[in-house]
């Protein structure tokens, strides 16, 4: 994975990178939930549009986290299969 000019390219190369991505997404989700359900809730009717944007961004973060976790599991499964293949435990 590479980062340039605040953009991330490719997939994470290590479990640590996956963990960092998941941690950031967890923070975004937690803050988004706080903004529209907790103490930080935007209650001003004139700012309802902002509250709606927080809801949308939180939904996006949740979907992104699901995809990152799924990708991490697939990568781990791929490594396991490769190791099994190399050790002769798997006939493919």
CB burial readout 25-40, b (16+ within 10 A) else e:
beebbeebbebbeeee
Stretches in the chain below the pLDDT threshold 50: 1-3
Predicted local distance difference test score (pLDDT) of residue 70: 94
Predicted local distance difference test score (pLDDT) of residue 32: 86
C-beta of residue 55 within 8 angstroms of C-beta of residue 33: no
In 3D space, the residue among 79, 66, 68 whose CA is nearest the CA of residue 20 turns out to be 68
In 3D space, the residue among 37, 31, 38 whose CA is nearest the CA of residue 57 turns out to be 31
Give residue for tokens 């529209």.
36
What is the rounded CA–CA span in Å between residue 40 and residue 42?
6
């Amino acid at each position: 994975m590479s980062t340039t000019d605040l953009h991330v390219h490719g997939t994470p190369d290590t479990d640590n990178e996956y963990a960092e991505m998941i941690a950031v997404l967890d923070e975004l989700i937690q803050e988004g939930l706080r903004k529209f359900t907790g103490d930080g809730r935007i209650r001003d009717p004139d700012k309802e549009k902002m509250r709606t944007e927080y809801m949308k961004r939180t939904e996006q973060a949740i979907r992104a986290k699901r995809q990152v976790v799924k990708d991490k599991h697939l990568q781990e499964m791929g490594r396991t299969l490769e190791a099994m293949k190399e050790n002769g435990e798997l006939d493919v």
